[in-house]
Amino acid sequence: MVFGSFADELSGEDLDRLGDGARTFYNANLYLALPLMCLLAVLLAVYASTTAITDHPLQTVGVIWVVGYLFALVGATVGHELTHRQGWIPQAVAHVLLGFTFNTSFVIYHVHVHHRRVGSYDEASTARRGERLFPFLVRAVHGQYAHAASVEAERLRRKGLPVWSRHNRFIQALAAPLAIVAVVVLIGGASALLLFVLAALLGRFFHELINYVQHYGIVRADNAPIRPRHSWDCYHRLSNVLHYNLPRHSDHHMFATKPFWRLDTAEDVPMLPYGYQTMATLALVYPLWRYIMQPLLADWDTRFASDAELEIMRSRGWEITERTAEEPSIAE
């Protein structure tokens, strides 16, 4: 992660849009993530079944780390991209890819909650101002599962269908991680199950770490329109390549169904000083993270926040930077 951060900062910025010229390659790149993640899980299970893992603790930690990291970087990132696509094939692939981090409820939550309520106080994927990483992780994981289950239950009630039934997409989504776990156990037994669970949980941690970075400290008034100012962007070349242009996050929230190669940069949006790779690493050390983010949040308060959003922050007792009459907000 540290090496990736240095490489990210050296890579410079990329402000160009990829366009549709190589869309076949881009789509193939997405769908090839599925056999890659399956191969990775199989190799992990084979490693567990053929290696005395207690005799090679550092090697085993390295195996868990790299597999978990790729479950997040490739599996969850591509799963996110395909979540926004219609049709049973992209949806099925998204479910399996997200199954490697036990996060298939993401397909429901991300579309029906996050993209509608981003910046709201009770939105589980929006890190609140001053919220440390690990309390955020607990709230995010619990909140995403709970909200996804609630959304699906409400959908079924509107249709007059029983909640506890085969029609429940939240329950259906459990098939992917259960199938993956079954294959892993068949190949490598209990030791493979242990390593896989650890890698999956680590992958989920990395996924939520990026969530923490994307909207940290930003506030949106309830029912107010979602605007580019409600996401942190960065245009570092390596971050955008590794995360399929996800750091062009404001455009993604404005046009959620845009494929990653069409996402644009913008001028008047909140910008992170470093790439996603670097910011995710800094977020692991909260005093350092706070030091980096305080001036950025002060700039957001004065340049981007609406009066309603400032009032929300005052009512919660959050530290904010008041703007003067000579400092009109972009929101106004």
**pTM of the shown model:** 0.93
Would you say 182 and 252 are in contact if contact means Cβ atoms under 8 Å apart? no
> 178 is written with which tokens?
């259960």
Q: What's phi and psi for 162, nearest 5 deg?
A: -70, 140
- Residue 211 to residue 115: CA distance in whole angstroms: 13
Cα separation, 155 vs 213, in Å, equals 31
- 271 phi, psi to nearest 5 deg: -120, 140
In our burial notation (b when 16+ CB lie closer than 10 A, e otherwise), range 239-254 reads bbebbbbbbbbbbbbb
| Contact assessment for residue 318 and residue 300, using Cβ atoms and an 8 Å cutoff | no
Rounded Cα distance between 140 and 211, Å, is 9
The answer to whether the beta carbons of residues 251 and 84 sit under 8 Å apart is no
The CA distance from 7 to 5, in Å, is 5
Counting beta carbons within 10 angstroms of the beta carbon of residue 193, is it exposed (0 to 12), middle (13 to 18) or buried (19 or more)?
middle
Contact 92, 103 (CB under 8 A): no
DSSP letter (8 states) at residue 74: I
Instruction: Tell me what pLDDT residue 143 has.
Output: 96
The 10 Å CB-count burial string (b at 16+, else e) for 44-73 is bbebbeebebeeeeeebeebbeebbbbbbb
CB 217 within 8 A of CB 293: yes
Q: Which residue has the tokens 């990829």?
A: 18
Q: Per-domain residue ranges for the chain?
A: 2-315
Local confidence pLDDT in tens for the 332 residues of the chain:
778 888 888 888 988 888 888 999 999 999 999 999 999 999 999 999 998 888 889 999 999 999 999 999 999 999 999 999 999 999 999 999 999 999 999 999 999 999 999 999 999 999 999 999 999 999 999 999 999 999 999 999 999 999 999 999 999 999 999 999 999 999 999 999 999 999 999 999 999 999 999 999 999 998 899 999 999 999 999 999 999 999 999 999 999 999 999 999 988 899 999 998 899 999 999 999 999 999 999 999 999 999 999 999 999 999 888 766 566 676 65
Comparing CA positions, the residue from 295, 291, 313, 311 lying closest to residue 303 is: 295
Helix axes 33-50, 88-99, angle to 10 degrees: 30
CB 85 within 8 A of CB 55: no
pLDDT of residue 2: 76
pLDDT of residue 1: 73
